Amino acid sequence: MSLAAVAGHAADFKTVGTAPAVLYDAPSTKGTKLFIVPRGAPLEIVLAYGDWVKVRDASGETAWTPLRGLSAKRNVVARSNNVKVRSSEEDTATVVFTADKGVLLELLEPGANGWTRVRHRDGLTGYVRSTDIWGI
């Protein structure tokens, strides 16, 4: 595989489903439980092995979890405090709301021109710089 092919591969993200996900050190419930990830949290799929997937969280940690506990719905998480969500895809646009580090936002439209459209759980929507969120 060429480097260009690797660089062009988009990351595959899923969201933790209706129940929190247990992350293990191996692809088995007999493995050691490492973390519990809250529902709605985005996880990057690193590797699939049968009904299990190796995932990476926003902090960069990797572990295994059953694929059935993940949803195709997409959420992202703010990377830092005071992330500005704006009314349009411009740095000068009105700030609709700000999000602190770790706040979950629903992904509405993947990044275009460096911006991603998101919705807060209270219903407010807007555009955020793609570099200010994790999960895309």
Do 67 and 116 lie in one domain? The reply is no
Predicted model pTM: 0.85
Q: Which of 37, 72, 107 is the last residue before a domain boundary?
A: 72
Do 80 and 113 lie in one domain? The reply is yes
Domains in the chain, number: 2
Do 53 and 30 lie in one domain? The reply is yes
Confidence category of residue 2, pLDDT binned at 50, 70, 90: very low
Per residue in 50-94, pLDDT (tens digit) is 999 999 999 999 999 999 999 998 999 999 999 999 999 999 999
The enclosing domain of 96 has a CATH number of 2.30.30.40
Do 82 and 111 lie in one domain? The reply is yes
- Domain span including residue 97: 76-134
Q: Would you call 109 helix, strand, or coil by DSSP?
A: strand
Q: Which of 53, 72, 91 is the last residue before a domain boundary?
A: 72
Report the candidate in 86, 92, 87, 71 with the shortest Cα–Cα distance to residue 132: 86
